Structure 1
């Protein structure tokens, strides 16, 4: 009798825009998050879980990931330089329902490489890794961290901790760090980073304005802490009708004149402009 291999966990859409956090010690909240329509659900074992609940959160998350879920599930483990991360990784890294690991407070490339080696499966790679840069040192080393290991698929900011580390009082004080992470990700060949969470779940106007600012800086998508934030984030990051029309005009002009500089909408466009237009159209067609 032959056995059917267990199903692989679903990968995120080609261009995920929404990443919804849920506390690992509240399985009922995790269940709601899985049905909320996010592209990726991030089960949090770190900041959202009180110290006395860490063990329960880890066990509950391992139980969840014993089966493949309908939505990609990532797990944010505890700080890599603390006593809990090893137990977190041992509990979840090899489970069939895990689609990625989010590593908080990363400051050294060696931390990423160590996690990649510790979670590698026999005869194959381990889960995709995502590093969170949450300190001045992490920002200064952004490019080195982005290049740390092939298992690393993305970097992003943890703005609450970064704000505290820098002593920043106004939101604009984080813009240099934001741009630094966007540039480092691009230079390393990674996907554009997603924005950090907007903590006020009732301030949807502020969320929309913040997303527009993040999009202008080069971010793509955003993490959320409540399902009501998801449609706001998606609307902010999907192309507008005008952007789609411009992209279609550029791609059509380039198709009509392959290998040559094309004229679209009264302006000449080169290869880089065409590639950007193709990315816009791809984003609009995302599943």
Structure 2
């Protein structure tokens, strides 16, 4: 079976599809602009929001470096079913469909099956935001239709009764990032909802990067620069990575000493990943071969 296309990592900016907010979102150039039909849209306005979102998606699913996507309502709800029928009727191409409240692989497969006949290149992503989903994480992420995973901290905290703090959410975030890496899927951390705390956002974004997430969500364009800076390697990290890769290449990929560190294949692989994130390619693999 051909693997599904995966979603981008980096910055995901979630925005209502109406009120002109998409234009502001696109101006900030996130990697993904996610049109929200769920939490940010009241029940009386969902039909209008769905129409607006489909108009945007049908007109141009990609704007420069920004890919459009849509967070539908949960498939088990009336509005979720309406969303899927409308998406199937529109015949989308090359967009992201984020499914909330996912608790089983079967839910994702039903969404993919509903869109399969008319939607080409759609990336079905799972929003993990309940304790039951965490307990079934490996089965969910093993789904052959899945193209990425997003953590929903607010709903998870509400469901568990925990505080939305770094220490309270560390296990859930670590589990999601690790499971996504095991299945070679992009993983996006939950947004920071406090718009007046840039230091808190910076701290959250750095923690997400350190845990292994490939990106982080945002709820306002002003948050994107902080997230980008957190996920971009520092000059010091790039210099260290260059030194490790250079030492490994000179030794043919064997364990060597670089400065005051012993360097073997796992450390070299990590160094190459740092250079990749910085946009610096390397010509040799950790074993001395070509990439």
TM-score bracket relative to the smaller structure: 0.7 to 0.9
Tell me, in whole angstroms, the C-alpha distance in 2 between the residues paired with 1:84 and 1:225: 23
Tell me, in whole angstroms, the C-alpha distance in 2 between the residues paired with 1:148 and 1:198: 28
Q: Is the 8 A contact 1:130 1:154 kept in 2?
A: yes
Provide the alpha-carbon RMSD of the alignment: 2.0
Tell me, in whole angstroms, the C-alpha distance in 2 between the residues paired with 1:138 and 1:204: 30
Partner of 2:102: 106
Unaligned runs of 5+ in 1: 1-10
User: Which of 18, 21, 35 is 2:14 aligned to?
Assistant: 21
Partner of 1:7: none
User: Which of 127, 130, 145 is 1:135 aligned to?
Assistant: 130
Partner of 1:240: 234
Tell me, in whole angstroms, the C-alpha distance in 2 between the residues paired with 1:170 and 1:60: 32
TM-score of the pair, normalised by structure 1: 0.88
Assess, with a 3 A threshold, how the Cα gap between structure 1 residues 170 and 127 changes in structure 2: closer, same or farther: closer
Shift of 1:190: 1.5
Partner of 2:56: 64
Runs of 4+ more than 4 Å apart: 93-98
Shift of 1:97: 5.7
Tell me, in whole angstroms, the C-alpha distance in 2 between the residues paired with 1:180 and 1:212: 17
Q: Is the 8 A contact 1:17 1:234 kept in 2?
A: yes
2:59 partner SS: coil
Q: Is the 8 A contact 1:20 1:38 kept in 2?
A: yes
Tell me, in whole angstroms, the C-alpha distance in 1 between the residues paired with 2:117 and 2:268: 40
Unaligned runs of 5+ in 2: 1-5, 281-291
User: Which of 274, 277, 289 is 1:283 aligned to?
Assistant: 277
Shift of 1:202: 1.7
Tell me, in whole angstroms, the C-alpha distance in 2 between the residues paired with 1:121 and 1:265: 57
Partner of 1:182: 177
1:199 partner SS: coil
2:35 partner SS: strand
Assess, with a 3 A threshold, how the Cα gap between structure 1 residues 170 and 73 changes in structure 2: closer, same or farther: closer
Shift of 1:209: 1.5
| Residues 9-60 of structure 1 deviation map (CA, whole Å, 9 limit, x = unaligned) | xx976xx321101112x15101211111211100001001010110001111
User: Which of 73, 79, 83 is 2:78 aligned to?
Assistant: 83
Tell me, in whole angstroms, the C-alpha distance in 2 between the residues paired with 1:31 and 1:86: 27
Shift of 1:174: 1.4
Partner of 2:30: 38
Q: Is the 8 A contact 1:62 1:95 kept in 2?
A: no
Tell me, in whole angstroms, the C-alpha distance in 1 between the residues paired with 2:263 and 2:116: 44
